[in-house]
Amino acid sequence: MTGLLSMVQLSDSAFPSGRYTLSYGLETLAQSGHLTTPSDPAVLAALLRDQLRLSVGPSEGVGLACAHRATTGPHSVDLELVRRADERLTAVKLSREARETSTRTGRALLRVASSAFGSGALALYAREIAARRSPGNHAVVLGVLSACLGVPRLESVAGELFAFAASWVAAGVRLALTDHGTAQAVLHDVRPVLAAAACQAADKDVADINSCTPLLDVMAMRHEETDLRLFAS
């Protein structure tokens, strides 16, 4: 039960890691006319399913799973495995914004977690980040932290994918692409894909970390150059 409660706490939108600053490409999709205001719920659900299957699951999900597997106790972590997962996750993020927001939210999570929870393994990893021997991506930090808190690996991955999906639809509401009720319907609709993506990611290794969403990568690159932005990505 304590592991479940820890997962709920870490995936809560109120947790101060900075997720609320991210639109995950939605802002540029709306600005470029690829999404209408409001958008068809079926289109939003299809887009979110694709991101979970082709990007977030095989990248953040697998990176988190590797970091979780590397952390065998509150004071024990295989830093070499964590570094490899961290570096690979950075490498598959093609846009500068995606890389910077991932490490920024990762460091924010690390600061809060170090203060609120404390952990020898987390402190060891924090030293690697401070020395610039590891990038400190959000999913990798979360993998180490959730293992320290006793959250099982599959549940940790599922919690991260759900937190992404909840933040994604919340960004859609703020961009007037949908309303609160429809956003919850979209979240409900993508549950099977989210669960499948979590199961597929949980047992994979560093070499399996990948992402393939070309349109969203292009949107992220365009977002860097826009004059007016509500979100950081």
| Mean pLDDT over each residue of the chain, to the nearest integer | 93
How many residues can be counted in the chain?
A: 233
pLDDT value of residue 155: 96
Spatial CB neighbours of 217, under 8 Å, sequence gap ≥ 6: 94, 95, 98
Spans of all domains in the chain: 24-31+39-220
- The CATH architecture assigned to 24-31+39-220 reads Orthogonal Bundle (1.10)
Mean pLDDT of 99-118: 91
Mean pLDDT of 213-223: 87
Q: Is the pLDDT of residue 106 over 90?
A: yes
Residue pLDDT, tens place only, 35-69: 999 999 999 999 999 999 999 999 999 999 999 99
Residue pLDDT, tens place only, 188-214: 999 999 999 999 999 999 999 999 999
Distance CA 201, CA 210 (A): 11
Spatial CB neighbours of 54, under 8 Å, sequence gap ≥ 6: 211, 212, 213
Could you tell me the pTM of the whole model? Answer: 0.94
- The CB density around residue 146, as the number of other CB atoms within 10 Å, is 27
